[in-house]
């Protein structure tokens, strides 16, 4: 029996605030042994980041911390900042979420690495330099010697995160805390970074605390899992235990709310109703009781302790629920589901074949290039960025078309082209049969805009904070000249439709939670009875349990109102759940296009294959055994106009092709070929 | 509480039955939030009293502000002359009342004028961008190098100290500095998603400027307005001190303070009473501004949830 490397006992953290003391962490205990990975999962505000900051000793002075944190035999709480600095970065290292802001922009990455090395031990300049180069090589940065002198802005997000990991590894730490290390990155990059963290761990023998909201990442990386809710751990178990023998309703809800990229059936997701409680003056009751479908009276009288519910065979398993002994495997209680499945409404258009439905939005050969200018006074053109290179698609009534791709692939530009009603040089955009080229004058434009509305990604930024919800939802109605009384009844109707209480209509957006704000955005988009709703990553800013509710709402609205959606997302699991047709976009062009089941079951283009295999699946058995294609490198530059396949530089198929076929990849742009419901742009598929 | 599923029967009829209530208007909401802020209400009361004083006091005063009482030259406050007299025999009470009236009219007119012009021009330049933006900025930058105080002095002297001309000129030379500040603030607003959202709904450009951009720099405008009042009083004081401002027999707080400062040791009441009026005016404006900002600002903790 070895001693644990890190031992946290009854850690409590509270912040003073104007409205009262916020108890961000309310008693958390765990042990972590060297070489193990602990996954801490929970929604925003559950106290997972505060826990990590408390371990690092990075919290403010006015924060009250009690309990005990023992690291490597030393008590960390009560140490001065100076004493902690000797440990931080040396024995303890941290990888932050945002690689953009965790590197100083004014120093080269070489300087920052050398600083991390020399601050804790005496090293000659030359030795430090050599070690830094070695580290960059370990994290897989090409040309490390040359890259030492580069500045953070010269790197992509994934590359920067590699540098951050190199800095974290610099002093061979015993414990690495990774706080949402891949949340800001694309899936293919996420797979690379997770592999890299695993590599760093095996090389240094460190323990890792992996903080994340993504159950897939936990399933892939963690040995033990701690589920946090309202500042307390509610379930603690080895990873297989937690995923297969879940005992706490919140964890069951969290797992049920995730759309799965590997499951085809279109059953509705199971949302967890309500919102997490405010952590101020919490009563002595189960904090989850108000959202819990199996809550009984006893839940409201006392907060349940974290008790052992495991058996000898399966090892330790702790859960904080007084009914956990009644819950059986698969999230069942008395043979029924803890979270009952919501009803699915029948699709009005389900019986009508696709060809017989009217086309609501059609895009023909859309292109967009941005000129690349240089010079402050006399601008000269250096080249062109090909943001979109000739894409075509159509959406029929009652259909969801999804465009997926990594950041920078041109999906947002596509949306903006449509929403700005940009006239195409050698193509066209038709909304409900009307070409944007025919739109002249303000009135005609307003009439056309009735038919196409947009829901934005950020639920806060898309709502004017100075307008009441009623005014926000009524705005599109006022723009088309609806009478005041008429628009007021319509507002109530719409709020009802998206599941908001219409009596809250004179509140400001700040009084609503993220999920509710997104519902307001959806209500606004539906105000004019549009034919097409453009959804720009509508759920990516929401927590998992909230996200499920919004996805279900979108599904129901589509079924009820016969809407068409143009859905843009990077999350393929969500796309698989909601979309009927998918187009995979890479560097401004579609590489694969077709119906959702065809593409997810039988991906043909190498890029689609890599994209699908990069997504972590929230099931440790599947996740750890399946074959994975990890792409090397980043998205190529969109300025290149080499005249070959744009994916060739990262393609795993390209590498195994004979030279004459490779020449074809590099010399000839592959067209989109194949039958209507599954086309791909690869010469050899 | 949000419901996560839609009830089956949703239509105009069912919704109306379930919701028998009246919607509170935005202004009701703002006023309710403003009234919750005690110092702001106090500021509003002081300001109202000052305005009332400026309007009513000249009617109540025993002496006119231009009337000279040769029996009381440079007397301290007494039952006859409540706030004393000047060395020429003017009644200070009447003078302060009229001076306050004048200063208020100039300050409020100038501040309203500059705030409105600068806000509309600044945000419109930011929203419409392109050629309109470039031309506006060119004009603003050109006006910035013009010696405006000199112009103001010349024109006001030329008009014989007419307060209307002074206000007009002060507006014309005062709008462009705040306009440029507002333009930079509005630049970030232009890229907000709700501005895009409004455009994609088909809301006309000028309406977006007035409905989405202006309210979101509202707190800045309110502060601008308050500071504008204070600044206008200052400029007017400066002008009067140099002899270019409001001319005798007309008086303003500025000219009263200017002349009172000369006799601060021998006849302190001539300085302290107009100075007290000026201080009350600016302090009350600051309190009102603070309350307005909290009332308009949805993120402010002081306002609370409506």
ipTM: 0.75
Does A271 reach chain B within 8 Å, measured CB to CB?
A: yes
Q: For A17, which residue in chain B has the nearest alpha carbon?
A: B301
Closest CA to B177 of B135, B148, B204: B148
CA distance A447 to A450: 5
Rounded to the nearest angstrom, the minimum Cα separation between B56 and chain A is 38
Inform me whether the pLDDT recorded for B20 exceeds 50: no
- Residue B303 banded pLDDT, cuts 50, 70, 90: very low
Does A98 reach chain B within 8 Å, measured CB to CB?
A: no
Residue A516: CATH number of its domain:
3.40.50.300
What is the pLDDT at residue A100? Answer: 77
Inform me whether the pLDDT recorded for B226 exceeds 50: yes
Q: For B213, which residue in chain A has the nearest alpha carbon?
A: A464
**Could you tell me if residue B256 is inside a domain?**
yes
Q: For B212, which residue in chain A has the nearest alpha carbon?
A: A464
Does A24 reach chain B within 8 Å, measured CB to CB?
A: no
Chain B residues touching residue A16 (CB < 8 angstroms): none
Inform me whether the pLDDT recorded for B137 exceeds 90: yes
Tell if the CB–CB gap between A466 and B216 is shorter than 8 Å. yes
**Could you tell me if residue B258 is inside a domain?**
yes
**Could you tell me if residue A143 is inside a domain?**
no
Q: From the list A449, A503, A511, which residue is nearest B201 (CB)? A: A449
Tell if the CB–CB gap between B215 and A553 is shorter than 8 Å. no
* pLDDT tens column, A271-296: 887 777 878 778 888 888 888 888 88
Residue A420, C-beta contacts closer than 8 angstroms, at least 6 positions apart? none
- The stretch A628-643 carries a mean pLDDT of 69
Tell if the CB–CB gap between A479 and B201 is shorter than 8 Å. yes
What is the share, in percent, of chain A residues with pLDDT greater than 70?
Answer: 94
* pLDDT tens column, A170-217: 888 899 999 888 877 788 888 888 888 888 888 888 899 999 888 888
- The stretch B240-262 carries a mean pLDDT of 79
Q: Which of residues 400-429 of A touch B (CB under 8 A)?
A: 419
- The stretch A575-592 carries a mean pLDDT of 89
**Could you tell me if residue A331 is inside a domain?**
no
Tell me phi and psi for residue A290, to 5 degrees.
Answer: -70, -20
Chain B residues touching residue A461 (CB < 8 angstroms): 192-194
CA distance A237 to A310: 9
Q: From the list A467, A479, A488, which residue is nearest B203 (CB)? A: A479
Tokens 């999906």 label which residue?
A: A411
Q: From the list B6, B211, B298, which residue is nearest A556 (CB)? A: B6
**Could you tell me if residue B13 is inside a domain?**
no
**Could you tell me if residue A180 is inside a domain?**
no
Inform me whether the pLDDT recorded for B2 exceeds 50: no
Q: How many domains does chain A have?
A: 1
- Residue A24 banded pLDDT, cuts 50, 70, 90: confident
Inform me whether the pLDDT recorded for B126 exceeds 90: yes
Tell if the CB–CB gap between A471 and B19 is shorter than 8 Å. no
Range of the domain at A452: 394-431+441-598
CA distance A503 to B233: 47
What is the pLDDT at residue A504? Answer: 83
**Could you tell me if residue A420 is inside a domain?**
yes
Inform me whether the pLDDT recorded for B103 exceeds 60: yes
What is the pLDDT at residue A372? Answer: 77
Does A230 reach chain B within 8 Å, measured CB to CB?
A: no
What is the pLDDT at residue A641? Answer: 59
CA distance A358 to A380: 46
- The stretch A154-178 carries a mean pLDDT of 87
- The stretch A472-488 carries a mean pLDDT of 87
- The stretch B61-80 carries a mean pLDDT of 77
Inform me whether the pLDDT recorded for A519 exceeds 80: yes
Residues on chain B bordering chain A, Cβ-to-Cβ distance under 8 angstroms: 1-7, 10-12, 15-16, 19, 21, 23-24, 26, 29, 192-194, 196-198, 200-204, 211-212, 215-216, 218, 296, 298-299, 301, 305-306
User: What is the 8-class DSSP label of residue A454?
Assistant: E
Inform me whether the pLDDT recorded for B302 exceeds 70: no
* pLDDT tens column, A399-437: 899 999 887 788 888 998 899 888 888 889 999 888 888
- Residue B24 banded pLDDT, cuts 50, 70, 90: low
Does A480 reach chain B within 8 Å, measured CB to CB?
A: yes
Q: From the list B2, B12, B193, which residue is nearest A489 (CB)? A: B12
Does A443 reach chain B within 8 Å, measured CB to CB?
A: no
Q: From the list B3, B216, B305, which residue is nearest A499 (CB)? A: B3
Read out DSSP for A488-516? HHHHHHHHHHTT--GGGTTS-GGGS-HHH
- The stretch B118-140 carries a mean pLDDT of 92
Q: How many domains does chain B have?
A: 1
Tell if the CB–CB gap between A476 and B215 is shorter than 8 Å. no
* pLDDT tens column, B41-68: 999 999 999 999 988 888 887 777 777 7
Chain A residues touching residue B197 (CB < 8 angstroms): 454, 456, 462, 524
Q: For B12, which residue in chain A has the nearest alpha carbon?
A: A493
Tell if the CB–CB gap between B6 and A465 is shorter than 8 Å. no
What is the pLDDT at residue B7? Answer: 33
Q: CA torsion A254→A256→A261→A264, rounded to 10°? A: -170
Question: CA torsion sign, A210 to A213 to A218 to A224?
Answer: positive
- Residue A466 banded pLDDT, cuts 50, 70, 90: confident
- Residue B298 banded pLDDT, cuts 50, 70, 90: low
**Could you tell me if residue A585 is inside a domain?**
yes
Rounded to the nearest angstrom, the minimum Cα separation between A465 and chain B is 7
Tell if the CB–CB gap between A509 and B23 is shorter than 8 Å. no
**Could you tell me if residue B16 is inside a domain?**
no
Tell if the CB–CB gap between A461 and B192 is shorter than 8 Å. yes
**Could you tell me if residue A511 is inside a domain?**
yes
- Residue B1 banded pLDDT, cuts 50, 70, 90: very low
Tell if the CB–CB gap between B216 and A464 is shorter than 8 Å. yes
Tell if the CB–CB gap between B201 and A343 is shorter than 8 Å. no
- Residue B256 banded pLDDT, cuts 50, 70, 90: confident
Inform me whether the pLDDT recorded for B4 exceeds 60: no
**Could you tell me if residue A359 is inside a domain?**
no
The pTM for the full model equals 0.79
Token digits for A491? 């507002």
**Could you tell me if residue B92 is inside a domain?**
yes
- The stretch A493-522 carries a mean pLDDT of 86
What is the pLDDT at residue A638? Answer: 65
What is the pLDDT at residue B115? Answer: 93
- Residue A349 banded pLDDT, cuts 50, 70, 90: low
**Could you tell me if residue A483 is inside a domain?**
yes
- Residue B171 banded pLDDT, cuts 50, 70, 90: very high
* Least reliable range by pLDDT among A132-141, A235-244, A581-590, A627-636: A627-636
CB A79 within 8 A of CB A70: no
What is the pLDDT at residue A345? Answer: 60
Mean pLDDT of chain A: 85
CB A177 within 8 A of CB A209: yes
What is the pLDDT at residue A639? Answer: 66
Inform me whether the pLDDT recorded for A645 exceeds 50: yes
Chain B residues touching residue A493 (CB < 8 angstroms): 10-12, 15
Residue B216: CATH number of its domain:
1.10.3720.10
Tell if the CB–CB gap between A453 and B200 is shorter than 8 Å. yes
Chain A residues touching residue B204 (CB < 8 angstroms): 442, 479
Rounded to the nearest angstrom, the minimum Cα separation between A83 and chain B is 38
Q: For B25, which residue in chain A has the nearest alpha carbon?
A: A506
* pLDDT tens column, A218-270: 888 899 999 999 888 999 999 888 888 888 888 888 888 888 877 766 677 88
Tell if the CB–CB gap between B202 and A446 is shorter than 8 Å. yes
- The stretch B285-294 carries a mean pLDDT of 80
What is the pLDDT at residue A61? Answer: 79
Closest CA to B78 of B98, B62, B100, B99: B62
Range of the domain at B106: 36-296
Chain A residues touching residue B296 (CB < 8 angstroms): 466
- The stretch B193-199 carries a mean pLDDT of 89
Tell if the CB–CB gap between A499 and B6 is shorter than 8 Å. yes
């Amino acid at each position: 029996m070895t001693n644990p490397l890190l031992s946290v006992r009854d850690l409590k953290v509270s912040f003073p605030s104007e409205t009262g003391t916020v108890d961000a962490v309310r008693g958390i205990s765990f042990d972590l042994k060297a070489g193990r990975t602990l996954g801490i999962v929970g929604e925003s505000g559950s106290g997972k980041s505060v826990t990590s900051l408390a371990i690092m000793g990075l919290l403010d002075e006015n924060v009250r911390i009690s309990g005990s944190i023992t690291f490597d035999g030393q008590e960390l709480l009560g140490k001065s900042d100076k004493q902690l600095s000797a440990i931080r970065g040396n024995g303890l290292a941290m990888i932050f979420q945002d690689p953009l802001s965790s590197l100083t922009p004014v120093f080269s990455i070489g300087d920052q690495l050398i600083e991390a090395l020399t601050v804790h031990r005496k090293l000659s300049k030359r030795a430090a330099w050599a070690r830094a180069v070695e580290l960059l090589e370990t994290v897989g940065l090409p040309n490390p010697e040359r890259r030492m002198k580069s500045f953070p802005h010269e790197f992509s997000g994934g590359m920067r995160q590699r540098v951050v990991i190199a800095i974290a590894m610099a002093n061979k730490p015993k414990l690495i805390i990774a706080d949402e290390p891949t949340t800001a990155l694309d899936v293919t990059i996420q797979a690379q970074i997770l592999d890299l963290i695993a590599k760093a761990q095996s090389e240094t023998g460190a323990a890792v605390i992996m903080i994340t909201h993504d159950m897939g990442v936990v399933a892939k990386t963690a040995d033990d899992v701690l589920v946090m809710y309202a500042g307390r751990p509610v379930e603690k178990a080895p990873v297989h235990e937690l995923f297969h023998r879940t005992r706490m309703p919140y964890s069951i809800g969290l797992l049920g709310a995730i759309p799965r990229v590997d499951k085809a059936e279109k059953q509705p997701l199971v949302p967890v109703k309500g919102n997490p409680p405010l952590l101020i003056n919490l009563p002595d009751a189960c904090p989850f009781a108000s959202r819990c479908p199996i809550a009984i009276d006893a839940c409201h009288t006392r907060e349940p302790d974290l008790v052992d519910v495991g058996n000898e065979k399966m090892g330790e398993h702790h859960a904080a629920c007084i009914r956990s002994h009644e819950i059986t495997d698969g999230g069942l209680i008395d043979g029924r589901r803890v979270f009952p499945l919501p009803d699915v409404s029948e699709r009005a258009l389900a019986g009508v074949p696709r060809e017989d439905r009217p086309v609501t939005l059609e895009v023909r050969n859309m292109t967009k290039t941005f000129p690349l200018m240089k010079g402050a006074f006399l601008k000269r053109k250096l080249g062109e960025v090909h943001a979109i290179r000739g894409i075509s698609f159509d959406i029929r009534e009652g259909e969801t078309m999804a465009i997926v791709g990594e950041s920078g692939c041109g999906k947002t530009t596509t949306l903006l082209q449509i929403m700005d009603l940009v006239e195409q040089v050698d193509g066209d955009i038709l909304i409900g049969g009307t070409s944007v080229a025919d739109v002249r004058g303000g009135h005609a434009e307003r009439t056309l805009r009735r038919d196409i509305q947009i829901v934005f990604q950020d639920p806060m930024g898309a709502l004017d904070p100075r307008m009441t919800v009623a005014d926000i939802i009524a705005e599109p109605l006022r723009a088309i000249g609806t009478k005041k009384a008429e628009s007021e009844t319509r507002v109530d109707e719409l709020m009802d439709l998206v599941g908001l209480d219409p009596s809250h209509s004179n509140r400001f957006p700040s009084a609503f939670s993220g999920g509710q704000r997104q519902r307001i955005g959806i209500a606004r988009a539906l105000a004019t009875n549009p034919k097409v709703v453009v959804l720009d990553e509508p759920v990516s800013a929401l927590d998992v349990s909230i996200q499920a509710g919004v996805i279900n709402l979108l599904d129901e609205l589509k079924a009820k109102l016969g809407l068409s959606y143009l859905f843009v997302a990077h999350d393929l699991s969500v796309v698989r759940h909601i979309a009927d047709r998918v187009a995979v976009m890479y560097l401004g062009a579609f590489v694969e296009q077709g119906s959702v089941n065809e593409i997810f079951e039988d991906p043909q283009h190498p890029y689609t294959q890599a994209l699908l295999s990069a997504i972590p699946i929230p099931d440790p058995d599947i996740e750890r055994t399946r074959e994975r294609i990890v792409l090397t490198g980043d998205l190529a530059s969109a300025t290149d106009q080499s005249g070959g396949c744009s994916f060739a530089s990262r393609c795993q198929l390209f590498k195994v092709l004979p030279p004459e076929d490779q020449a074809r990849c590099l010399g000839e742009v592959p067209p989109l070929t194949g039958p209507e419901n599954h086309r791909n742009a690869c010469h050899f598929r | 509480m949000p419901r996560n599923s839609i009830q089956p029967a949703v239509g105009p009829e069912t919704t109306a039955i379930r919701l028998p209530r009246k919607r509170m208007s935005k202004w009701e909401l703002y006023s309710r939030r403003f009234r919750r802020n005690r110092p702001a209400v106090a500021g509003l009361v002081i300001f109202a009293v000052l305005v009332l004083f400026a309007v009513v006091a000249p009617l109540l005063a025993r002496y006119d502000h231009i009337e000279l009482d040769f029996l009381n030259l440079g007397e301290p406050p007494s039952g006859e002359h409540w706030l004393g007299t000047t060395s020429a025999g003017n009644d200070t009470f009447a003078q302060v009342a009229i001076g306050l009236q004048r200063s208020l009219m100039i300050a409020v007119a100038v501040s309203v004028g500059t705030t409105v012009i600068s806000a509309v021009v600044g945000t419109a330049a930011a929203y419409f961008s392109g050629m309109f933006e470039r031309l506006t900025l060119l004009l603003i930058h050109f006006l910035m190098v013009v010696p405006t105080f000199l112009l103001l002095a010349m024109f006001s002297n030329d008009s014989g100290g007419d307060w209307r001309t002074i206000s007009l000129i002060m507006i014309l030379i005062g709008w462009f500095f705040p306009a440029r500040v507002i333009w930079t603030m509005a630049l970030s607003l232009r890229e907000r998603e709700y501005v895009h959202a409004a455009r994609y709904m088909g809301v006309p450009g000028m309406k977006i400027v007035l409905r989405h951009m202006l309210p979101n720099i509202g707190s800045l405008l309110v502060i601008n307005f308050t500071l504008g009042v204070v600044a206008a009083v200052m400029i007017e004081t400066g002008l009067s001190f140099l002899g270019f401002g409001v001319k005798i027999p007309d008086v303003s707080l500025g000219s009263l303070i200017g002349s009172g400062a000369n006799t601060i040791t021998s006849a302190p009441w001539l300085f302290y009473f107009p100075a007290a009026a000026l201080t009350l005016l600016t302090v009350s404006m600051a309190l009102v501004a603070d309350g307005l900002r909290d009332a308009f600002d949805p993120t402010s903790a002081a306002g609370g949830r409506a």
